[in-house]
Every structure is written in structure tokens, then in C-alpha cells.
Chains A and B, each alone.
Chain A
Amino acid sequence: MAELNITERQAGDITILDMSGKVTIGEGSIALRTTIRRLLGEGKKSILLNLGSVGYVDSSGIGELVSSFTAVNKEGGSLKLLNLTQKIQDLLAITKLLTVFDVYDSESEALSSFS
């Protein structure tokens, strides 16, 4: 079974990635990178990462979230985070990245923030 499963949904122009599993060094980080690159290649630049079912993230995974964020920004789009677990919130606080990412607990609020 893959370390990280990513399911894609579309809400208008916004692509929601429902992620479950682990975003860690190796497979998990690569799966996220590959998906973001493909979406950008398809011109999908409004991306919401639903991390509610992501149980584990390491420093490599945090780095991949940052890389995804900068890659999307560079293309003039925006990447936002939804449903952070307490663990991920703690990691983003330690790394001072809570101020960098736009973070939401409610999907509808997250979606309306893109407009």
C-alpha cells in the first residue's frame, strides 16, 4: 500500500486533494510533488490540500509542503491547507510556517477564500 494516497476533487476552478497516510521522506513526499507538478501542467493553480487524514509528516514532508506552496505561487496560483491535525499544526508552529500558509478548518470557508 502506498505511503500517501491522494484523491482529487474539483470544486469549480479549485482542485481539492484529499490526502491520507504519511508525507515523509521518500515515497510520500514524491507522490505529493508529482501530483502538484501534474496539476500545474494542466493549468490547475488553485489547490486546497486536505490534510485531515494525514497521520504523519516529517521534516521532508514539511519541506515538500513548502516546495508545493512556492511552485504554485510561482505560477501565479495559490495553495492552501485544510483540516490540519494537532500534530501537523505543532510542526508548522515549530517551523514558523503557520504564518506562511493559509490554513482553514472548514472546507466551505477555504473554498470561498480563493475568490
Chain B
Amino acid sequence: MSKEKSELSLSSRLESVEEAAFEAEKFARQSGFDDDALNAIDMAVRESVANAVKHGNLLDETKRVELTFENTSNGFEITIRDFGKGFAVEDVPDPTNPENLLKANGRGILFMRAFMDEVEWSNHAEGGMLVKMLKRR
């Protein structure tokens, strides 16, 4: 029997990336998503949690990364919240521009957009960044 919603709170450590991906994959599998969708969800969750841990919470282990997974009529909905300073997604340079191609960083957001059907970034009312992602069924 699949659950409709699951919540997860993780510390700001790189190991949390693996844990979040494992839980997301498990929840999505129980919700009946196929292997392609599971791979996409896995990739997007890893990238978003890595961003939250590293760039949002700046690896400060006293700050949490909060996730929700929800199986809705739209598909698989994921939220990821950090407790950092936030950022404007439109200020992040496009890594596919020729002048950015050889940069070592900055491709996580591109991957999240490529693998999910919808991704939105907003500043949480109580601080931090909130990312909402949707994978349609």
C-alpha cells in the first residue's frame, strides 16, 4: 500500500544526499513510478539536496534540510527546504553558455530542470530557500 506523503529532516552533511535519494526512490517506487522516472527523481533529489547542504546551509550541521515527498494526482511532488540566505535562481549563470562550459560548478540546477517536469524556487516565508519539483506520472 503506498503512502500519500512522507517527510524527512536531514542534517547538513554530504551523506544526507545519499539518504535523501534512497528515501525518495523508495517512496516513488512504492507509488508506482517506472525506472526512468525513478532515475530522474534520484538525480534531481541528489542535486537539490547537495545544493541545500552545500550552498544553502553551507555545511552547517546545526541547520536542517527538510524534504517532503507526495504522491498526488499530478505525479510525484517533492519539496526541499534549506535554512540558508537564499538566492535568485535567475542570477545563476547558464552553464551551457560557451563562456561557462569549462567551469567546474553550476550544473545542478540544469540537471534538476532537465530531469523533472517542473521546478520552482522561492524564498520561504520563515527564511531559507524552498524548491518544489514535480515528476508527472
Contacts and interface: CB of A to CB of B under 8 A. Distances in A.
Interface of A: 24-26, 58-60, 62-64, 66-67, 69-70, 87, 91, 94-97, 100
A34 to B, nearest CB: 15
Given A58-B43, A95-B96, A100-B102, A26 B110 contact: no
Main secondary structure of the interface of A (DSSP, over half): helix
A91 B44 CA distance: 13
Given A58-B47, A58-B111, A94-B110, A63 B14 contact: no
Contacts, number: 52
B46 A67 contact: no
21 contacts: A24-B17, A25-B14, A25-B17, A25-B50, A26-B14, A58-B111, A59-B50, A59-B107, A60-B108, A63-B105, A63-B106, A64-B104, A67-B104, A94-B111, A94-B114, A95-B95, A95-B101, A95-B110, A96-B96, A96-B101, A100-B102
